[in-house]
Structure 1
């Protein structure tokens, strides 16, 4: 491509990244952490009994106990099986959820407020869902734009593919790292951007497809993607969920049941559907349908449906990396860190080209590292107080900005220390609140990485602090005062 095209691509890449840097960073950071949203649900209540499987009798008993306790009207009933990615038995309706033990006895109400806030931050930026999703999806499209324009603007992709220069003030190394991460992980970043765009714009796409091909009938489009509810004789009575679940051992012995849904509870069209993870398939699940009496009706047809239907049903696992256990989740976490680093380094490169304006630079560091502190403080608040976690998170973010404006010493190393100390405080409070449960798998699988972050942030903060002192000393030594001797008319360099 000619120089003009590359320069235009670079301009578009730069200004899109700069103007949307804060929103892009928050979406990427929260998304990277939310890869482990199921692990965070376990982390929030680490003392709950966990199991590998459960009997149909225990499932039936747990739901009966739940319905006796909660008689409010609900259109759905749910059972989350321990064969899902959360090894716990959960029974719930549209309003409340309870854990149960392996015998089917109810334990306590499910409380995953922090996880919900974190996922809400990623999906909607904690805005009203209707237009928060559209904004985040638009940011997904911006990510795709940044990837494409970054590749176009790169002058020597093949030659510089493995270049990583060190030394100096670190600016050149940061530019090289930004370019390497942007190039190496470009396929992943495009997948994240495209799938993220799909989630928010699916409704708009649905309306366009309906208008063009189905005379405006949106239900007809939905039926092409989501298999319509079965047409049954009027149903009545208590749904036989235990009987339906027991049949999965013969209907799909190779599949892992994830959860069960009773649709249209108490209505004539009531039916049971069990979603099971299909091995070697990217789709979220295949649906097995039963009538109220627990008699098998048929499958929803997602596993062997048309390629378009399979693609759409794969978007969740494709976006969150939930398709090969912890291996794929950790891979997505690492690649997500790379995407987040791209947001940070891109903005810091721009700031360096502007000679690091003091206030703008400090504000950026307060957002980047202060957001980690805000998440840690929000998690602590969730354990100690009742209230809006969204208000806590954004309140801390606002406080960070106010402090940064007023205190000039809040530089990047200081914010690294603050973020590390905040996570350390979270770990201390978590241990005090949960006691022995702190040493369960549910806790350690997240607490150990948090401990590593505390150690890294302290080491990195000290490294940057030493570098700042060395640069300051070098700059000071290079400035030689010039004294003018008026009596002799000579200048003396000191």
Structure 2
């Protein structure tokens, strides 16, 4: 019997999933939502003016006003263009970000605490950043192992490709859906797992390669992978971003500018870099570099560079589905739901085989649906109060699990109804908080989905499997 035979693969698949199910579920759930992170950021501040384009003169005016109002020391200035996926103009330094209108007049400060909390949950599981990133990336490796072991554990892969048994206790159908989701979407799951591993392990790999090949010089390794910054000696004046943007537009590259960064502010090495999306490639951007006076220097050659450089520079978009617009985001969202459902159904199948221990089953239900309810309630609280949303999320989730442990009858049916009510409360609170702005496209694209989800939760709570 080899490690690739069915029985060892099945055992490995089961126990990896059981022991890490809670962490896998939270990472997959948050990752599915993070696909629409830009939309959530717009949703948190729906009253901000939105537009499709902005002039170089307006951008320069916005930066000039921002710098005069914010004189703290900083190494960078950033300008996010309305062509970045968020149709708004943002000017920021290393400490603060402010919106601007189409004429370059500054508006209110950027603030999206709930979206940031959600991002941190996916990136770090709210653990200290270094350890959290490594742990989450290790979960990416676990996802890959679960996919591979699941394939080897399935003895009738082709024959059962469309099998879905209905009726009875629901266990047979749950197993069939678990297997179908796992097989149909396995290429996507492997991509998500492998790219997730990269984010956490990149720093460790960088350190190892630096020690082996560059006498511990990490910057030398970075220069091999990413284009090094230009060596400049100049008098550092105020960056002429208007001239740089105009020069970029005159190049007629066909690339869409995402954002602009002024590096090494106030030093002789100060330079301007415009990041532009290449529409026919997965790379994050091609970068165009200009002197502080706005004169073109060079491109970073990610578009036409070595294939390895292009691959590494494509991992972000590949992991988050940030390419080819809304259709790909919707596809990633659906596939993300399938991956999240795999985490849930896998644990459900195992619990059923153990005879559904009342307390453990109740706590698992509280974790699955209580986390969704906690996300909705933290978003509601964030509309009114300036409180630590991360602490509130874990407090609500922990309370839900404790309640279900003490009272095992507090099962999934109740949690589904709590989810429906929590999301409904969020929708009502959002409308009262933002009034007319709640009818903007930035609001409606999220709230319409929340309404559908709340109705689904209430309907699902009446399913025969949850009536007990």
Deviation of 1:463 (Å): 1.4
CA contact (8 A) 2:77 2:93 kept: yes
TM-score under structure 1 length normalisation: 0.93
User: Residues 303-318 of structure 1: matches in 2 within 5 Å?
Assistant: 303-318=303-318
CA contact (8 A) 2:413 2:467 kept: no
Residue 273, structure 1, aligned to residue 281, structure 2 = no
User: Residues 185-224 of structure 1: matches in 2 within 5 Å?
Assistant: 185-224=185-224
Aligned residue for 1:56?
Answer: 56
Q: Greater shift after overlay, 204-213 or 41-50?
A: 204-213
User: RMSD between aligned alpha carbons?
Assistant: 1.2
Aligned residue for 1:442?
Answer: 442
Aligned residue for 1:474?
Answer: none
TM-score under structure 2 length normalisation: 0.98
Deviation of 1:460 (Å): 0.5
SS of equivalent residue, structure 2 residue 308: helix
- Structure 1 residues 343-380: Cα deviation after superposition (integer angstroms, max 9, x where no partner): 00000000000010000000000000000000001101
Q: Whole-Å Cα distance in 1 between the matches of residues 232 and 464 of structure 2? A: 68
Q: Whole-Å Cα distance in 2 between the matches of residues 169 and 257 of structure 1? A: 55
Aligned residue for 1:27?
Answer: 27
Q: Whole-Å Cα distance in 2 between the matches of residues 147 and 139 of structure 1? A: 12
- Structure 1 residues 8-41: Cα deviation after superposition (integer angstroms, max 9, x where no partner): 1111100000000000000000000000001111
CA contact (8 A) 2:365 2:412 kept: yes
User: Residues 228-239 of structure 1: matches in 2 within 5 Å?
Assistant: 228-239=228-239
Aligned residue for 1:254?
Answer: 254
User: Residues 82-121 of structure 1: matches in 2 within 5 Å?
Assistant: 82-121=82-121
Aligned residue for 1:172?
Answer: 172
In structure 1, stretches of 5+ residues that fail to align are 470-494
SS of equivalent residue, structure 2 residue 107: strand
Q: Whole-Å Cα distance in 2 between the matches of residues 152 and 26 of structure 1? A: 26
Deviation of 1:224 (Å): 1.3
Deviation of 1:212 (Å): 2.9
Residue 288, structure 1, aligned to residue 282, structure 2 = no
Aligned residue for 2:325?
Answer: 325
Aligned residue for 1:480?
Answer: none
Q: Whole-Å Cα distance in 2 between the matches of residues 258 and 299 of structure 1? A: 15
Deviation of 1:253 (Å): 4.0
Q: Whole-Å Cα distance in 1 between the matches of residues 306 and 253 of structure 2? A: 24
Deviation of 1:4 (Å): 7.9
Aligned residue for 2:398?
Answer: 398
CA contact (8 A) 1:235 1:291 kept: no
SS of equivalent residue, structure 2 residue 355: coil
CA contact (8 A) 2:363 2:402 kept: no
CA contact (8 A) 1:416 1:457 kept: yes
Counting matched residue pairs gives 468
User: Residues 367-406 of structure 1: matches in 2 within 5 Å?
Assistant: 367-406=367-406
SS of equivalent residue, structure 2 residue 376: helix
Deviation of 1:210 (Å): 2.2
CA contact (8 A) 1:367 1:401 kept: yes
SS of equivalent residue, structure 1 residue 92: strand
Q: Whole-Å Cα distance in 2 between the matches of residues 90 and 214 of structure 1? A: 39
Q: Whole-Å Cα distance in 1 between the matches of residues 104 and 467 of structure 2? A: 60
Deviation of 1:161 (Å): 0.9
CA contact (8 A) 1:413 1:464 kept: no
Q: Whole-Å Cα distance in 2 between the matches of residues 277 and 156 of structure 1? A: 44
Aligned residue for 2:467?
Answer: 468
In structure 2, stretches of 5+ residues that fail to align are none
Q: Whole-Å Cα distance in 2 between the matches of residues 349 and 235 of structure 1? A: 67
Aligned residue for 1:475?
Answer: none
Q: Whole-Å Cα distance in 1 between the matches of residues 372 and 3 of structure 2? A: 40
Aligned residue for 1:142?
Answer: 142
Deviation of 1:407 (Å): 2.6
